[in-house]
């Protein structure tokens, strides 16, 4: 199983000369395992994703906030006639998911509904446990305004946990540590510094220290800190990474691939 970071910026895409190392595209991670390709979220990072696959790729949405779906209408595969892309949505009704997406991507805000593209976008809802080919997916409700799904993927004897937009309280930390037990890779939201967090409690994002705490409690082998604040520069992220001072804890860089 391997994971490629296509976008890991939080809240809104940016393009600034001081942020080229960690990148400016919003949440999108490509996971390859055997013949499956899965995308975790469809932020602006999705627009530079590959478009040709042996099997239809699946996109798993953690939630519908704009930074996690904004890549969908510009993903070139959706314009390819005869292509199919499967979109797994958080567990609400399919009609509900379609209505939410239509609320963003339909005239007059966007010229075309996602279901009117020449390629087929097939909507499905995520259940607690399901399979996509050889990949087993487990989900749980996270801690975020409007909700966000936390996912664990298992394939080829390895597992990774994707916990973006995630602000667990003390009891939530316990639940999340159990859910993440012994994962090979943990992706965790570290949008805020410790100082900022005090002013943004309840916004649904966490810190590097919370990620480290979760890693230690869960026994996860590697921690990738994600969902960088749009104001955060490369210099600030590099300094924060140096302060953590561990090879197994890093801030995600757009374009990097991690093999498990």
Cβ within 8 Å of residue 140, ≥6 positions away: 128, 149, 150, 175, 176, 179
Question: According to CB under 5 A, which residues from 118 to 157 bind Zn ion?
Answer: none
Cβ within 8 Å of residue 109, ≥6 positions away: none
Q: Select the residue interacting with Zn ion from 36, 41, 67, 167 (CB under 5 A).
A: 67
Structure tokens at 257: 């691939």
Q: Cβ(30)–Cβ(39) under 8 Å?
A: yes
Cβ-based nearer residue to Zn ion, 57 or 204: 204
- Going by C-alpha positions, the residue among 7, 3, 9 that lies closest to residue 229 is 9
Q: Minimum CB separation from Zn ion for residue 188, in Å? A: 13
Q: Select the residue interacting with Zn ion from 9, 32, 65, 154 (CB under 5 A).
A: 65
The piece of 34-42, 61-69, 70-78, 86-94 that touches Zn ion (CB under 5 A) is: 61-69
- Does 167 help bind Zn ion (rule: CB under 5 A)? no
Strand order in the sheet with 149-155: 129-132, 135-141, 149-155, 158-163, 185-189, 223-226, 249-251
Binding mask 170-199 for Zn ion (x = CB under 5 A): ------------------------------
Phi, psi angles (nearest 5°) of residue 137:
-115, 130
Question: According to CB under 5 A, which residues from 200 to 239 bind Zn ion?
Answer: none
Cβ-based nearer residue to Zn ion, 67 or 234: 67
Cβ-based nearer residue to Zn ion, 64 or 179: 64
Q: Select the residue interacting with Zn ion from 1, 70, 73, 165 (CB under 5 A).
A: 165
Structure tokens at 60: 């798993």
Cβ-based nearer residue to Zn ion, 36 or 165: 165
Max distance between CA atoms of the chain, in angstroms, equals 50
Residues of the shown chain interacting with Zn ion in the complex, contacts defined by CB under 5 A: 65, 67, 165
């Amino acid at each position: 199983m391997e994971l490629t970071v296509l976008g890991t910026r939080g809240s809104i895409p940016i393009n600034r000369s001081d942020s080229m190392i960690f990148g400016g595209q919003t949440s999108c991670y490509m996971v390859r395992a055997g013949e499956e390709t899965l995308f975790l979220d469809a932020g602006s990072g999705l627009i530079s994703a590959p478009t040709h696959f042996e099997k239809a790729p699946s996109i798993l949405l953690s939630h519908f906030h704009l930074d996690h779906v904004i890549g969908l209408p510009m993903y070139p595969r959706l314009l390819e006639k005869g292509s199919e892309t499967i979109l797994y949505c958080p567990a609400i009704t399919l009609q509900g998911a379609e209505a939410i997406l239509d609320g963003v991507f339909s005239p007059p805000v966007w010229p075309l509904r996602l279901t009117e593209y020449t390629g087929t976008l097939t909507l499905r809802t995520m259940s607690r446990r399901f399979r996509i080919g050889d990949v087993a997916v487990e989900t749980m409700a996270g801690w975020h305004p409007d909700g966000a799904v936390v996912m664990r993927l298992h394939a080829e004897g390895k597992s990774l946990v994707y916990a973006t937009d995630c602000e667990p309280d003390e009891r939530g930390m316990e639940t999340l540590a159990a859910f993440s037990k012994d994962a090979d890779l943990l992706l965790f939201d570290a949008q805020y510094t410790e100082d900022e967090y005090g002013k943004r409690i309840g916004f649904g994002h966490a810190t590097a220290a919370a990620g480290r705490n979760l890693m230690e409690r869960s026994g996860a082998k590697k921690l990738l800190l994600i969902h960088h604040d749009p104001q955060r520069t490369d210099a600030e992220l590099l300094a924060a990474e140096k302060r953590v001072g561990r090879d197994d804890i890093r801030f995600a860089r757009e374009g990097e691939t991690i093999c498990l």
